[in-house]
Amino acid sequence: MYDRLFCEKLDEIRSAGQYRTFVTLNRVCGQYPLAHIDGENRKVTVWCSNDYLGMSQNPIVRRAMHDAIDKYGAGSGGSRNIGGTHKLYAELESLLAKWHAKEASLVFPTGFSSNDATLQCLLRLIPDCVALSDEKNHASIINGIRASNVRRHVFRHNDVHHLKELLDQYPRNHPKIIIFESIYSMDGDVAPAVDIIRLAKQYNALTFLDEVHAVVGMYGPRGAGIAADLQLCEEIDIVQGTMAKAIGIIGGYIAASHSLIDTIRSFAPGFIFTTSLPPAIVAGCIASIDYLMKHSEERDQLHRQTRTLRQALLSKRIPVLPCSSTHVLPVMIGDASKCKRAAARLLGTHGIYLQPINYPSVAIGSERFRVNATPVHTDVHIADLAQSLSEVFEHFDIPLLDAEKANHNHELS
């Protein structure tokens, strides 16, 4: 009975073109963005990695991780409360707090868990708290809100007028928290953070900002994120980030006041009852963040190559979601089956790896590739990607930008 149910559910997503498969990529240290397809004697170019700045390959980072293994061993030994708080944690959490101009920070094993555990904890602890969440917030945010079983409102994406309408339903002294992201990972657009914070102050709401796709060394002074770039760090109550993207390793964190951090540390089950990150991971994160705080070359080159990639795609009339203004370039396909087949052809014929992004990551009918350049993608790589996408679009009869619109966009850019 149970197996039949599972098979039926799997058949449903297969027939809808939404079944997900893994591509086993063995990245080659020192040769990023190249990787080997497992079992095949050929290299492919990766165009959708979250290792935005290539810091996973950085010799300083790798050396710090090797040294930590030699000094402390492989694992942490337990949760933070039971044997898992090694000396490197204090250094990392102090560094993260300093990065965001906050009093303190708290590190979690993943970015998902830092969102999920923090929001569950806050919404359960604050009496009668109301959650107001952007409709395109990450699944980890949605999960944390739903698990808390509080009153919640979803405001239209980046729509401050709708947010204000929802806030108007509650007295100023009613507890509430506004949850949004600085850069949205599937669309590449930026939140109206200034306006959201202004509303939060007006209505006495806490603000929770997910900087996962912006804080990772790529925006703002010293790579500290969109809030820092807009000089809003002191105005945001809670900043959440990850070390699994341009920092190049793994782990999540929040940064906030001493009292809020101590509250999450003391009450959040998702923090208390989980094994801490191993010393080598923490050492690598420290080395990567310290490097990115002192060097701008990688993020400067990333933005240059992103501009070059935009122009190359536009010249081939490849449709990129117009709202994208960041390093995330959503190449629109609009059909789940074609998206999967296009990805397979890119890999098999052109040696290019792009993962098809289908429902539930994006809405049905908005299937896409989520493309991002890195500092180590060359102009040759970019030209090859644009030409390969052009061939694949033609092969599967995927709509291109019309010539007049492409020319107009080219003039604007």
Q: Which residues are known to be catalytic?
A: 245
Number of C-beta neighbours around residue 165 at 10 A? 13
Name beta bridge partners: 106: 254
How far is residue 2's CA from residue 331's CA, in Å, rounded to a whole number?
A: 39
Sign of CA dihedral 383, 355, 115, 292: negative
CA dihedral 374, 380, 384, 385 (to 10 degrees): 10
Using DSSP, state whether 177 is helix, strand or coil: strand
Name beta bridge partners: 131: 152, 177
Backbone phi, psi, residue 214, to 5°: -125, -30
Backbone phi, psi, residue 138, to 5°: -65, 155
Backbone phi, psi, residue 286, to 5°: -60, -50
Secondary structure (DSSP) of 79-131: BTTTT---HHHHHHHHHHHHHTT-SEEEEESSHHHHHHHHHHHHHHHSTT-EE
Q: What is the 3-state secondary structure (H, E, C) of 256-269?
A: ECHHHHHHHHHHCH
Q: Which of 111, 58, 28 is nearest to 286 (CA)?
A: 58
Residue corresponding to tokens 């310290």: 290
How far is residue 86's CA from residue 98's CA, in Å, rounded to a whole number?
A: 20
Sign of CA dihedral 15, 20, 24, 25: positive
How far is residue 230's CA from residue 215's CA, in Å, rounded to a whole number?
A: 13
CA distances from 32 to 26, 37, 283, 293, 378 (A): 11, 14, 22, 22, 11
**Structure tokens that stand for 5 in this block:** 């149910």
Q: Which of 365, 409, 369 is nearest to 392 (CA)?
A: 369
